[in-house]
């Protein structure tokens, strides 16, 4: 009787297996959404988990596979930009930037091959996105982009020993550059940053908060890289930054000056002098007239003393261009330049003397008679020394066109003063050479001198 009465009573609902499954899966789904890397699980769960269909279970299995993979390696590719609607592309762009913040070790070519390839492909997608963007980049995007660039580029540079590089007999042009093994990724990061800076969608007023003075200083430090490919990218990027961020121009010039001061007077060690001078050549070309005193001081305190360091052959071409730009803009600076060249003249290095003579010839092409008169006596003494040098040094041959140019300038400045100014200098230096007992100074040398 009691069993029959109890059997008719309504039963209290119990936690069935389905109930536990639903609750557990709800917690599991929430956890998956929170931890899943690329964030596209939510839509699949909402659309496919209303009932326990095979699609839903397949998706759960995929999630389990991802979790198993995350337990060993969490670096996985994100969807491509073609796979998401336009409204989600900026968010995906930020996630891809964050993915590329991971820096891999390229010293071991066998490590993380899959992850390195994923990052490389993601970087390429970022470059394409920046190149084709048709909307202003938000401040969040700028912040994340500069963060990614900083984490990848700002690193300790692998440098070769410098001890023997400053020795007199060292051939800088035959030095084998050190190629960075991480260049397959670094190149794409540089390309991304170059296009990001150059993009019309990059608002300068917002970007200058992140492309700030500390960032620029770190960027300039990278010019010391041994890899010439990296320095080439840096040169182009610095030029773009200088052109776009006008507020940073004085700071950039000052920072470059400090690098050169340290190079000239302390270390004589910096790999990117030629590239920095190439950037400065374009900057000097854009200086307005009359030249500011700041720019003239840069010529006197930085460019002219750059003739002193032993690695001069590595950057002389770019340095000569910068010097010539100043003289062409203001011919009155020619006297200062010539006296500076004479001050740092490489008396014991004939190959450097040839470079100085070549630069001197370019300066004389832009000089005016009044400036030539101020410096002609010390100039003639130096030319006479070069003409009296041994024939095999090459210095005499290089001095001939400079000497001929000097004759023309002398005729314009003080007609018929050739014998009054030049010949005494030449005779004095020739006599010194003969007294020194140099066997190579024979009659042929005298004929060459007289022919001038």
| Range 9-42 burial, b when 16+ CB lie within 10 A, else e | eeeeeeeeeeeeeeeebeeebeebeeebbeeebe
Chain centroid, CA 370 distance in Å: 41
Alpha-carbon distance of 363 to 208, in angstroms, equals 39
Give the per-residue pLDDT at 385: 78
- pLDDT tens-digit map of 318-368: 999 999 999 999 999 999 999 999 999 998 888 898 899 899 989 988 888
- Confidence tier at 39 by pLDDT (50, 70, 90): very low
Torsion from C-alpha of 229, 232, 236, 241, nearest 10 degrees: 90
Give the per-residue pLDDT at 364: 87
- Confidence tier at 436 by pLDDT (50, 70, 90): low
Alpha-carbon distance of 323 to 320, in angstroms, equals 5
Give the per-residue pLDDT at 150: 97
pTM: 0.76
- Confidence tier at 304 by pLDDT (50, 70, 90): very high
The answer to whether residues 141 and 126 touch, using CB atoms and an 8 Å cutoff, is no
Give the per-residue pLDDT at 109: 81
- Confidence tier at 3 by pLDDT (50, 70, 90): very low
Give the per-residue pLDDT at 445: 53
Q: Is the pLDDT of residue 227 over 90?
A: yes
Q: What is the mean pLDDT of residues 129-141?
A: 92
Alpha-carbon distance of 137 to 196, in angstroms, equals 10
- pLDDT tens-digit map of 404-425: 555 565 555 555 555 555 556 6
Give Cβ neighbours of residue 79 (< 8 Å, ≥ 6 apart).
38, 40, 92
Q: What integer best gives the mean pLDDT of the chain?
A: 77
Give the per-residue pLDDT at 414: 58
Give the per-residue pLDDT at 415: 54
Q: Is the pLDDT of residue 142 over 50?
A: yes
Q: What is the DSSP string of 146-162?
A: HHHHHHHH-S-------
- pLDDT tens-digit map of 158-184: 765 554 444 444 455 556 777 888 898
Alpha-carbon distance of 265 to 168, in angstroms, equals 17
């Amino acid at each position: 009787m009691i069993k029959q009465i109890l059997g008719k009573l309504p039963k209290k609902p119990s936690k069935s297996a389905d109930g536990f499954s639903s609750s557990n899966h709800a917690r599991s789904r929430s956890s998956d959404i929170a931890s899943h890397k690329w964030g596209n699980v939510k839509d699949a769960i909402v659309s496919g988990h209303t009932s326990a269909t095979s699609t839903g279970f397949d998706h759960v299995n995929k999630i389990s596979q991802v979790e198993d993979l995350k337990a060993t390696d969490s670096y996985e590719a994100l969807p491509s930009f073609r796979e998401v609607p336009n409204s989600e592309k900026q968010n995906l762009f930020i996630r891809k930037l964050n993915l590329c913040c991971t820096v891999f070790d390229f010293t071991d070519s066998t490590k993380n091959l899959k992850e390195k390839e994923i990052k490389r492909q993601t970087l390429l997608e970022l470059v394409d996105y920046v190149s084709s963007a048709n909307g202003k980049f938000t401040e969040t995007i700028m912040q994340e982009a500069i963060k990614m660039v900083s984490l990848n580029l700002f690193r300790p540079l692998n440098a070769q020993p410098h001890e023997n590089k400053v020795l007199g007999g060292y051939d800088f042009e035959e030095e084998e550059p050190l190629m960075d093994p991480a260049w397959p990724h670094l190149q794409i990061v540089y390309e991304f940053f170059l296009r990001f800076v150059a993009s019309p969608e990059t608002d300068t007023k917002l970007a200058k908060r992140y492309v700030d003075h500390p960032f620029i200083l770190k960027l300039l430090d990278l010019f010391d890289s041994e890899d010439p490919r990296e320095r080439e990218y840096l040169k182009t990027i610095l030029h773009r930054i200088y052109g776009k961020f006008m507020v940073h121009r004085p700071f950039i010039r000052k920072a470059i000056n400090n690098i050169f001061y340290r190079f000239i007077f302390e270390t004589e060690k910096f790999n990117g002098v030629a590239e920095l001078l190439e950037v400065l050549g374009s900057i000097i070309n854009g200086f307005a007239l009359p030249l500011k005193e700041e720019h003239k001081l840069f010529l006197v305190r930085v460019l002219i003393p750059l003739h002193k360091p032993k690695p001069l052959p590595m950057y002389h071409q770019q340095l000569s261009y910068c010097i010539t730009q100043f003289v062409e803009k203001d011919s009155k600076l020619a006297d200062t330049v010539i006296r500076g060249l004479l001050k740092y003249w490489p008396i014991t290095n004939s190959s450097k003397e040839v470079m100085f003579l070549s630069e001197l010839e370019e300066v004389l092409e832009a000089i005016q008679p009044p400036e030539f008169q101020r410096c002609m006596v010390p100039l003639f003494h130096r030319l006479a020394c070069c003409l009296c040098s041994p024939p095999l040094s090459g210095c005499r041959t290089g001095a001939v066109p400079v000497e001929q140019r000097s004759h023309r300038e002398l005729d314009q400045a003080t007609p018929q003063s050739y014998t009054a100014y030049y010949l005494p200098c030449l005779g004095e230096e020739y006599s010194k050479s003969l007294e020194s007992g140099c066997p190579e100074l024979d009659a042929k040398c005298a004929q060459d001198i007289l022919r001038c």
